[in-house]
Structure 1
């Protein structure tokens, strides 16, 4: 019995000494991992061929291909409306926008006289301080919507910048763009010239900003973004046209009544002279 006990104790001591060795546990872990990996590979190899495996392949832009013209432009700079000239210090405003909220003097200065008729200015007329012609530039990037020759307004260029937002350039003597052109802000569209509608302005360029066909005061939107105008409720241009038209009709009626009165006075004088004779 004692011999068996001695054998058992010697075995325990041997086992303890064995597990005390540094490389025993790493070897056991590696061996267990090898057994698990082998078991997995054997199981995968026994998978039936008729079982459909999931497709994790990548198909480039499958049914989502974006054309070059539809690509989104990242980091596109936001533009503000600029003066339609290279240097605004070289020009001056000779005719202002007709604003219904302005004083009587300012409104009078914004009236364009054409013989016996007069019209409210729907934009601003700018002229060089030296009286010479100058380059007229695009106030904002956009697409040329129209180029027209007008005997009264001179050459006219219309540039569309967004849906319903346009700038208009009139009284041009030369035009450098054609309909459909894409123009950048600051690109020359023509040169200042003359027009029959505003002859008193001399060599000038008439400039307008319109929203949904309604002219707004350009001086209120220079150095402001397109979004500012898009978010603005525009009614002043319509009111200006209506008020000015009403004033024109009133003055025309006044002028007609004065003429009628003078004619009646002359007829009365003639009748009195005949009676006296």
Structure 2
């Protein structure tokens, strides 16, 4: 038995001697730290990759299922603004003809052209100094019409969403063409003159339309396209007021 025990290798002593060396424990700690950090990095990269794939899949499903909805969500919502660079210096020389307004306000919103009286379908804007001024886009959109018109003083039409358009009349030095995309506040022309409203002098005639029906621009400044509604008119009161207005304007015309 003793001979066999002598023949056995002295493994415990060798292991003890190995661990007595000064560099062993630091080396073990270093290797363990490297393995631990490597494992953490690998796990995180795996999780990040999975998250990216999930995000891509979700985004793809969202775009396929909702069509243009993803674009609409990211699109900045704009409010209508006065179509001039310095609104504080602007004056609304002639207001929109409101069928529900008083007879006095309706008369003030009539445009005299030749021997006729026409209801103003927008607002006529002038500057206090009476000089020309830059006309800017009241809201971003696509230019759908650029037309020379001596009576209206040239026309620019810009199309927006939900059947809403804006129209700029009595303009000159037009800086856009049909098909152009314009940004809100972009200069598109300069104010000019028109035969339709000579009395206004240098001015801009500005309209907002919903499904080709004119609405009062003053009611939609600082509001969105979604806020624009086709006006509801009481037929009885409208006919009565227009009849009274016509009688007064006819009398006024004869006196002149």
TM-score normalised by L of structure 2: 0.65
Matches within 5 A, 1:1-277: 72-73=70-71, 75-229=74-228, 232-236=229-233
Shifted more, 237-246 versus 127-136: the winner is 237-246
User: How much does 1:86 deviate?
Assistant: 1.2
User: How much does 1:239 deviate?
Assistant: 9.7
Structure 2: how far apart are the matches of 1:146 and 1:237? 32
**C-alpha offsets along residues 221-248 of structure 1, whole Å, 9 cap, x if unaligned?**
000111111xx34344999997887668
Q: For 2:74, what is the secondary structure of its paired residue? A: coil
Structure 2: how far apart are the matches of 1:194 and 1:140? 23
Q: What is the root-mean-square deviation in Å for CA atoms of aligned residues?
A: 3.3
Which protein shows a greater Rg? Answer: 1
**C-alpha offsets along residues 191-210 of structure 1, whole Å, 9 cap, x if unaligned?**
00000000000000000000
Would you identify which runs of 4 or more consecutive aligned residues in structure 1 move more than 2 Å? 64-67, 70-76, 232-255
Q: 1:218 to 1:236 in 2, by over 3 A?
A: farther
Structure 2: how far apart are the matches of 1:168 and 1:237? 26
Structure 2: how far apart are the matches of 1:242 and 1:173? 37
Q: 1:198 to 1:252 in 2, by over 3 A?
A: closer
Q: Tell me, which stretches of 5 or more residues in structure 2 are unaligned?
A: 1-52
Question: Which residue is equivalent to 1:16?
Answer: none
TM-score normalised by L of structure 1: 0.61
Q: For 1:190, what is the secondary structure of its paired residue? A: strand
Structure 1: how far apart are the matches of 2:239 and 2:187? 34
Q: 1:200 to 1:188 in 2, by over 3 A?
A: same
Q: 1:243 to 1:83 in 2, by over 3 A?
A: farther
Q: Tell me, which stretches of 5 or more residues in structure 1 are unaligned?
A: 1-57, 259-277
Higher relative contact order (CA 8 A, sep 6+): 2
User: How much does 1:105 deviate?
Assistant: 2.0
Structure 2: how far apart are the matches of 1:142 and 1:80? 12
